[in-house]
């Protein structure tokens, strides 16, 4: 039995953390992506399924580990990835020939007292799109990307977890990209450079980073344009119905 929890929740507070999950697939090619020795003959692609921070920001201070459930035909189809360095990616690399659904379960750090979060991702190995132009563009791309933006919201987190989510980190302890190991800066301060933990989406997109305020702005513009188009179609259809009703009424009066 778990010990009793004496912590209090921080009332009226919600903290969100964005992240990206999905897959990257690449067809085997003798020059650009040679098939590793021992790979089954019918395997056509190498692929990676992953969970990481937006713009490669650190999520390891709140995400303890990630469990991936692959297709049962894959050896060791239950994979757990943990002990990822700050700013790193929870990922599994494999090869195969077919598409299938992957169950992804994210385990929050024990201090959170939160339940695991479950996601589902359909592995994509082949180009897809809504238009022929999109399909052709994906065929020309060296990799098949299937990414999803997601946010996890911690409503009224417990005090210890709230402290972890909001405390600055010491960046003087050499780590990848200048990001420290998530050491909390206690009251009274610490010697060295200190950085804030942030959960902001980048302002602009770049290769390998499709999620940004710029992307959001463009998507909203597309939605507005689509809404205008739908409104015009509705107005045109309404006008057509009114004309047909008038014509029906005229024919009825002549009968």
Residues 146, 222, single domain; the answer is no
In a domain, 68, yes or no: yes
Q: Percent of the chain beyond pLDDT 70?
A: 81
Q: CATH number of the domain at 128, please.
A: 2.60.40.1970
For residue 209, the tally of other CB atoms under 10 A from its CB is 16
Cα separations in angstroms, 204 against 194, 207, 213: 25, 10, 6
The pLDDT tens digits of the residues spanning 206-219 come to 777 777 778 778 88
Per the CB < 8 A criterion, the answer to whether 197 and 165 are in contact is yes
Residues 131, 253, single domain; the answer is no
Question: Quick one: pLDDT at residue 18?
Answer: 92
The pLDDT confidence band at residue 231, using thresholds 50, 70 and 90, is: very high
What whole-number distance in Å separates Cα of residue 166 and Cα of residue 219?
Answer: 30
Residues 144, 19, single domain; the answer is yes
In a domain, 250, yes or no: yes
> For residue 148, what are the contacts with CB-CB under 8 A and spacing of at least 6?
20, 21, 22, 119, 121
In a domain, 173, yes or no: no
Q: What is the pTM of this model?
A: 0.73
In a domain, 166, yes or no: no
Residues 46, 140, single domain; the answer is yes
Q: How far apart are the first and last CA of the chain?
A: 85
What whole-number distance in Å separates Cα of residue 48 and Cα of residue 176?
Answer: 21
Question: Quick one: pLDDT at residue 209?
Answer: 72
What domain range includes position 223? 212-255
Residues 123, 241, single domain; the answer is no
In a domain, 224, yes or no: yes
The pLDDT tens digits of the residues spanning 59-91 come to 999 999 999 999 999 999 999 999 999 889 999
What the block records as the tokens of 65 is: 């580990």
Question: Quick one: pLDDT at residue 217?
Answer: 84
Residues 124, 217, single domain; the answer is no
The pLDDT confidence band at residue 135, using thresholds 50, 70 and 90, is: low
What whole-number distance in Å separates Cα of residue 4 and Cα of residue 61?
Answer: 24
Residues 139, 251, single domain; the answer is no
The pLDDT confidence band at residue 138, using thresholds 50, 70 and 90, is: low
What the block records as the tokens of 70 is: 């692959």
Number of domains making up the chain = 2
- The mean-pLDDT minimum among 20-24, 102-106, 206-210, 239-243 falls in 206-210
Question: Which of 138, 155, 172 marks a domain boundary?
Answer: 155
Distance of CA 64 to the CA centre of its chain: 17
The pLDDT tens digits of the residues spanning 154-211 come to 999 999 999 999 887 654 444 444 443 333 333 333 333 334 566 667 777 777 777 7
In a domain, 42, yes or no: yes
Residue 141 has pLDDT above 80, yes or no: no
């Amino acid at each position: 039995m778990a010990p009793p929890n004496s912590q209090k929740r921080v009332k009226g507070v919600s903290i969100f953390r964005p992240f990206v999950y999905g897959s990257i697939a690449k067809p085997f090619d003798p020059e650009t992506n040679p098939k590793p020795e021992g790979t089954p003959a019918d395997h056509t692609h190498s692929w990676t399924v992953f969970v990481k921070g937006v713009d490669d920001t650190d999520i390891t201070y709140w995400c303890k580990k990630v469990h991936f459930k692959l297709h049962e035909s894959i050896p060791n189809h239950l994979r757990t990835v943990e002990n990822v360095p700050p700013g790193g990616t929870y990922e599994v690399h494999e090869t195969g020939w077919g598409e299938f659904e992957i169950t992804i379960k994210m385990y929050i750090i024990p201090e959170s007292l939160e339940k695991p979060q479950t996601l589902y991702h359909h592995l994509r190995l082949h180009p897809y799109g809504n238009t022929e132009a999109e399909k052709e563009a994906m065929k020309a791309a060296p990799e098949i990307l299937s990414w999803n933006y997601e946010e996890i919201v911690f409503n009224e987190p417990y005090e210890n977890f709230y402290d972890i989510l909001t405390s600055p980190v010491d960046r003087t302890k050499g780590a990848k990209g200048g990001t420290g190991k998530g050491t909390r800066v206690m009251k009274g301060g610490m010697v060295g450079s200190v950085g804030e933990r942030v959960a902001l989406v980048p302002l602009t997109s770049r290769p390998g980073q499709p999620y940004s305020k710029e992307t959001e702005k463009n998507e909203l513009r597309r939605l507005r344009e689509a809404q205008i188009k739908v409104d015009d179609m509705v107005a045109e259809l309404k006008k057509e119905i009114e004309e047909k009703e008038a014509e029906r009424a005229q024919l009825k009066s002549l009968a």
